[in-house]
Amino acid sequence: MTPLYALSDLRVRLGEAEILQGLSLEIGEAGLTAIVGPNGAGKSTLMSVISGVRETYRGNCVFRGREITAWSKRELARQIAFIPQMIRVEFPFTAEQVVFMGRTPYCHGLFESPEDGEAVRRSMALTDSLAFARREYRALSGGEKQRVILASALAQDPTVLLLDEPTTFLDLKHQVSTYSLLRRLAGEGISVIAVTHDLNLAASYADRIVVLSAGEIVADGKPSSVLNANLLRSVFEVDLEIREGPGGKPWVLYEQRPAPSAENTAPPLC
């Protein structure tokens, strides 16, 4: 079976720094894949390539059998919905109008169709954002904005959903509801790929975890195999332990490593 994505020897250089260093990875048609790693590991850069936003790279990023740069932007927008870390809306649109923007790949004129309206209402209901549909987007809280942007992505009716830190500004209730929704969408056949710093959300909801460090894949597999204490200590440079969490899934407990004491760092006496 042809994979959804087939990456081979993928490299991205920014100035003198090589951000991605020869990644090779295949991702299938459905499921929830979490991408984790420390700051600067290359997670957002990887997402920019597989979304089709970044066109300058070396190696291959094949999407549905074609190099992703061979797809038109409109074709990709009917397949892939991408939510980057930061989205700015400069004009006084309502939350509902922002969600309607997700229907752009299907528009053939100036007016929304009944199908567009139904897709918008459905996606706002799924993300618990209908209550502030008529409020100006710029006046919303960070968490409310994030739910609106997710609704806009869902309104695209994508087959692939890419999310870079989708729960950064969300309270606990909406973190759980967002990942529960992503889990459900993955079960319905959508390929969901999410960058996250929350290892326990990844452990609880993902089918697969890919760990990046310094632009390379250092682990890839089921949460139970990837969430290895020694590996995570090395990658994230924190003290941690793995325990059994809800449903028998791994649960990561961690704390900052203590700073070296003066007696340990002082040069030896002669």
Q: Which of 59-63, 91-95, 145-149, 255-259 has the highest mean pLDDT?
A: 59-63
Residues 210-238, mean pLDDT to the nearest whole number? 95
The residue type at 14: L
Strands (E), 116-266: 160-164, 191-195, 208-213, 216-221, 239-244, 250-255
Name which of 59-63, 111-115, 165-169 the model is least confident about: 111-115
Question: What's the mean per-residue pLDDT of the chain?
Answer: 91
**Spatial distance between the Cα atoms of 94 and 194, rounded to a whole number of angstroms:** 27
pLDDT for residue 187 is more than 80 = yes
Query: Which 3 state secondary structure label does DSSP give 125?
Result: helix
Which residue in the block uniquely carries the two structure tokens 């987007």? 137
Check if the beta carbon of residue 35 is closer than 8 Å to that of residue 213: no
Helix 142-155 with 114-126: angle, nearest 10 deg: 140
Count how many residues are written for the chain.
270
Listing from the earlier edge strand, what are the strands of the sheet with 191-195? Answer: 80-83, 160-164, 191-195, 31-36, 208-213, 216-221
pLDDT in tens, 96-143: 999 999 998 877 655 578 889 999 999 999 999 999 999 999 999 999
Q: Which residues pair with 17 in a beta bridge?
A: 14
